[in-house]
């Protein structure tokens, strides 16, 4: 379970995020949507202790993320390509992450084999450094590396951006499969309302750093969100 309590983030006198209370139950697939500057990446950055809150706190499985690092052992995330290590090949990067998560080479290879279709022969055995891959292929590496070690909490920021339609379809299948596990909580942030609605049980919309909608996904959800953001 992820719980947000009296959380805010200010830069100088500007409040970019303010969430008094938010609970994401264990096993939920949670979608975060909003326009640029709505606070989505700020929220994920606070959840991952990349920045410090101005007030309040977030707990991940009852662990306060900014005071105790033990949540890292069961949490996987990919925010953007800047978190990759450009001078490594994809294989070297996967094994590096595996080592951090207590996985041996065979463990990592077994996981990579599961996502062979997602890679589409563009990632492994090509003798390219991560810095030389396209943005879309870098994203593929980052997303699958997030899954090494079977984390209980998976956080993906804008996972559908820079991906071709076939890869997006395959990624949605991956996210839906993750969400079927009652022990795995999946958090997805995206500008793409349709993709987010398709893979998430619950959608929270942010505007100017505040929660403006919190709805359980239904056949009407996409239209409701499209109407809201059209105003």
Express each pLDDT in 55-106 by its tens digit: 999 999 999 999 999 999 999 999 999 999 999 999 999 999 999 999 999 9
pLDDT of residue 89: 96
210 bridge partner residues: 207
Q: Which CATH number is 2-230 given?
A: 3.40.50.300
Long-range contacts, stretch 209-212, CB < 8 angstroms, 24+ apart: 209/9, 209/15, 209/16, 209/17, 209/18, 209/19, 209/38, 209/39, 209/42, 210/18, 210/19, 210/39, 211/19, 211/22
**What is the number of other CB atoms lying within 10 angstroms of the CB of residue 143?**
21
pLDDT at 231 over 90: no
Q: Which helix (H) or strand (E) holds 3?
A: strand 2-11
Percent of the chain having pLDDT more than 90? 94
At residue 221, φ and ψ (nearest 5 deg) are -65, -45
Q: Is 21 helix (H, G, I), strand (E, B) or coil?
A: strand
- Nearest CA to 89 out of 123, 60, 120 is that of 123
C-alpha 141/C-alpha 95 separation (Å) is: 12
SS3 for 48?
Answer: coil
The alpha-carbon radius of gyration of the chain (Å, integer) is 18
- What the block records as the tokens of 20 is 């008094």
Domain-wise residue ranges, the chain? 2-230
Beta strand segments in 75-209, E:
75-78, 153-157, 185-189, 202-207
What is the separation, in whole angstroms, between the first and last Cα of the chain?
Answer: 33
- How sure is the predictor about 147, in pLDDT bands with cuts at 50, 70 and 90? very high
CB neighbourhood size of 199 (10 A): 24
Starting at the edge strand that comes first in sequence, how are the strands of the sheet with 202-207 ordered?
75-78, 153-157, 185-189, 29-33, 202-207, 210-216
pLDDT digits (tens, 9 = 90+) for 209-223: 999 999 999 999 999
Strands 75-78 and 210-216: unpaired
Query: Measured in whole angstroms, how far is the alpha carbon of residue 96 from the centre of its chain?
Result: 20
pTM of the model: 0.94
Contact 8, 57 (CB under 8 A): no
């Amino acid at each position: 379970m992820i719980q947000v309590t009296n959380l805010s983030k200010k830069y100088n006198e500007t409040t970019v995020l303010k969430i008094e209370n938010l609970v994401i139950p264990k096993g939920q697939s949670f979608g975060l949507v909003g326009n640029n500057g709505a606070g989505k990446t700020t929220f994920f950055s606070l959840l991952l202790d990349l920045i410090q809150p101005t007030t309040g706190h977030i707990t991940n499985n009852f662990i306060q993320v900014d005071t105790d690092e033990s949540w890292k052992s069961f949490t996987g995330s990919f925010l953007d390509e800047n978190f990759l290590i450009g001078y490594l090949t994809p294989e070297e990067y996967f094994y590096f992450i595996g080592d951090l998560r207590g996985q041996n080479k065979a463990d990592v290879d077994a996981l990579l084999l599961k996502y062979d279709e997602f890679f589409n022969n563009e990632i492994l055995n090509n003798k390219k450094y991560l810095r030389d891959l396209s943005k879309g292929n870098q994203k593929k590496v980052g997303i699958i590396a997030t899954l090494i070690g079977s984390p209980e909490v998976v956080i993906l920021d804008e996972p559908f951006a820079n991906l071709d339609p076939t890869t997006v379809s395959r990624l949605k299948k991956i996210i839906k499969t993750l969400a079927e596990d009652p022990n795995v909580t999946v958090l997805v942030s995206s500008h793409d309302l349709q993709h987010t609605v398709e893979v998430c049980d619950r959608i929270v919309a942010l505007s100017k750093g505040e929660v403006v909608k919190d709805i359980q996904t239904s056949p009407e959800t996409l239209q409701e969100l499209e109407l809201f953001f059209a105003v």
